[in-house]
Structure 1
Amino acid sequence: MRHQRGGGLVSRTVAFIGLGHMGGPMAANLAAAGHRVLGHDLVPEAVAEAAAAGVEPAASAAGAVAVADVVLTMLPAGGHVLGLYDEVLTAARPGTLFVDCSTIDVADARAAHERAVAAGMRAVDAPVSGGVVGAEAATLTLMAGGGEAEFAEARPLLEAMGKKAVHCGGPGAGQAAKICNNMILGISMIAVSEAFVLGESLGLSHQALYDVASTASGQCWALSVNCPVPGPVPTSPANRDYRPGFAASLMAKDLGLAANAVRQGQVNAELGLRAAELYAAYAERAGDTEDFSGIVRTVRNQSGGTP
């Protein structure tokens, strides 16, 4: 963020590529913070929705990048990020800062960083945690990897999209933090789901278990914010027939990335690998239509209960 004399803020021109369920609200929050945001997506409906929230539609990614101070991307996978970089790096002005908020493999994040630097640009990987609700409310946590100077420049933009931005280290460190965090989350949600199904079999009400665990040693985000059973946390997806805040397919993707890193690093992470297997199977059925907390129904069904 630059400053005028007298302390007034001067907005940045941001090219935002990828206006889906996460990227659209994030771009809108940047526009609401006073930045000029040029948005591009392959889905016309996503562009139209972002435009209604103050994002200027861009006819092409390269056209948006050509006039941008900062390029933000929110894309499905590493191949998409690398392909886009190959397409637009030659269109960017020298020294443009590229900030990738996608969740991708650490190796792909480092490759994207290398390509940006080789083209005379600067780069930060900054995946997010908080789901669609966090993207809409600008309460995301962003985990950044890259140089300190690049992070310092990106930070005001990151903080316009979230409540906390953490510099985790060099290139790829943001992605490393993201997959470690989501491995904790996936394992936790399975544990909470199994505990509720066990409680059901023992005649324990959902509310009673929640009242105990939420103030005892079992307290965790998967319980207190995204509780997998209806009732105790009215805002959790369980009260909306598991309509996704964070889809099962996305959790399966993230745990798959974590599992690949576990194998490559020869880490003994039995629960992480098993969680990846369980969510991969669950996502084959639920896909993008159910929240990842809906795995409680799989646990219940396989335990002989009503799904």
Structure 2
Amino acid sequence: MAKRIAFIGLGNMGGGMAANLVAKGFKVEAFDLDAAALERAKLAGCTAHTSINAALQGVDAVVTMLPNGTIVHNVFDNDVFKWAPAGALLIDCSTIDVATARDVITQATAKGHQMVDAPVSGGIAAANAGTLTFMVGGTDAAFAAAQPILAAMGSAVIHAGGEGAGQAAKICNNMLLGATMVATSEAFAMAEKLGLDLQTFYNISSKASGQSWSMTSYCPVAGVGPKTPADNDYQGGFATALMLKDLRLAMAAATDAGADVPMGRRAAELYEAFASAGNAGLDFSAIIKTMRG
């Protein structure tokens, strides 16, 4: 099993993921352009490097957690494929478009690497706690090789199918999440305007046919249900900008696939407007502000 891992991309998600690899006994060679992120990784037990080249030397596997498909392509084309040891296992945990994921994996395979796309669900808290869900695309052999590394960072590692299937599962899941959060928010906003006590409405609907994860695990109303970003003025959690990024990916994929997604498209429009109004940094459940007017 791979024991020495290069981890590239130590942002809000990657930092916690790298720290969990260290906690599970892996030696992590860390790289990020941000000096503060590198320092946090060092404090978590990673070896910090100021160049990707240095981080990639002699590793058994490479894990990347990067902002978008263009950056993923650039990092693999210009760095990983040049400097990673022959035969090193490659794992990309970024959320990107399916076409890019498949293209990078095709290149990796041609160069003798096993590779999977393994986007995550769970957010910053799950990244820090090591309870992420990984949706993994790749061959059976590549999945088997990646599974022990991913299991060190998550509580569920699911093989979604071939190359790019992890990304496909992620954007379908987050399109569903975005749409259900909109529906949950408008239901609470309407209940409020009808004079219902919101805790009472929660007690009823969370046990009835309207129940959803957006309600019972991530309620958009402060003081109702488990503690969520709503209880912290919508700070932290999963930023609106990130939800919008995923919805844009979903809309592009729907167009490519010829899929009819009217609810997903409306959710994307609402989040586009909400982010443009200066709310991109708020948790995505703050969309209830739109419904409340």
With normalisation by structure 2, the TM-score equals 0.97
Which of 32, 42, 65 is equivalent to 1:74?
A: 65
- Asked if structure 1 preserves the Cα contact closer than 8 Å seen for 2:90 and 2:113, the reply is yes
- Does 1:41 pair with 2:32? yes
Shift of 1:92: 1.3
SS of 1:217's equivalent in the other structure is: coil
Cα deviations by residue, 1:238-297 (Å, 9 ceiling, x for unpaired): 000000210000000001000011111111110011111111221223455210000001
SS of 2:54's equivalent in the other structure is: helix
Shift of 1:114: 1.4
- Asked if structure 1 preserves the Cα contact closer than 8 Å seen for 2:66 and 2:94, the reply is yes
Stretch moving more, 138-147 or 285-294: 285-294
Counterpart-to-counterpart distance in 1, 2:107 and 2:262: 35
Which of 183, 189, 194 is equivalent to 1:191?
A: 183
Shift of 1:94: 1.2
Which of 226, 233, 256 is equivalent to 2:248?
A: 256
Counterpart-to-counterpart distance in 2, 1:289 and 1:264: 29
- Asked if structure 2 preserves the Cα contact closer than 8 Å seen for 1:248 and 1:286, the reply is no
SS of 1:90's equivalent in the other structure is: helix
Shift of 1:212: 0.9
Counterpart-to-counterpart distance in 2, 1:73 and 1:155: 15
- Does 1:155 pair with 2:147? yes
- Does 1:114 pair with 2:106? yes
Shift of 1:120: 2.1
1:27 corresponds in structure 2 to 18
2:83 corresponds in structure 1 to 91
Stretch moving more, 141-150 or 85-94: 85-94
Cα deviations by residue, 1:182-206 (Å, 9 ceiling, x for unpaired): 0110000000000000001100111
Counterpart-to-counterpart distance in 1, 2:218 and 2:194: 23
Could you list the runs of 5+ residues in structure 2 that have no partner in the other structure? Answer: none
SS of 1:260's equivalent in the other structure is: helix
Shift of 1:66: 2.4
- Asked if structure 2 preserves the Cα contact closer than 8 Å seen for 1:15 and 1:39, the reply is yes
Counterpart-to-counterpart distance in 2, 1:106 and 1:283: 24
2:95 corresponds in structure 1 to 103
Cα deviations by residue, 1:69-98 (Å, 9 ceiling, x for unpaired): 110000000001000001221111111111
1:12 corresponds in structure 2 to 3
Residue 292 of structure 1 aligns with an amino acid whose one-letter code is F
- Asked if structure 1 preserves the Cα contact closer than 8 Å seen for 2:33 and 2:50, the reply is no
2:270 corresponds in structure 1 to 278
Counterpart-to-counterpart distance in 1, 2:132 and 2:277: 28
2:282 corresponds in structure 1 to 290
Counterpart-to-counterpart distance in 1, 2:248 and 2:16: 26
Counterpart-to-counterpart distance in 2, 1:60 and 1:165: 30
SS of 2:152's equivalent in the other structure is: helix
Shift of 1:61: 1.1
- Asked if structure 1 preserves the Cα contact closer than 8 Å seen for 2:217 and 2:226, the reply is no
Could you list the runs of 5+ residues in structure 1 that have no partner in the other structure? Answer: 2-10, 302-307
Counterpart-to-counterpart distance in 2, 1:110 and 1:259: 18
Counterpart-to-counterpart distance in 2, 1:130 and 1:95: 30
Residue 80 of structure 1 aligns with an amino acid whose one-letter code is I
Check 1:260–1:25 CA distance in 2 against 1; reply closer, same or farther (3 A cut).
same
1:223 corresponds in structure 2 to 215
Check 1:121–1:127 CA distance in 2 against 1; reply closer, same or farther (3 A cut).
same
Residue 51 of structure 2 aligns with an amino acid whose one-letter code is S
1:8 corresponds in structure 2 to none
C-alpha RMSD of matched pairs (Å):
1.1
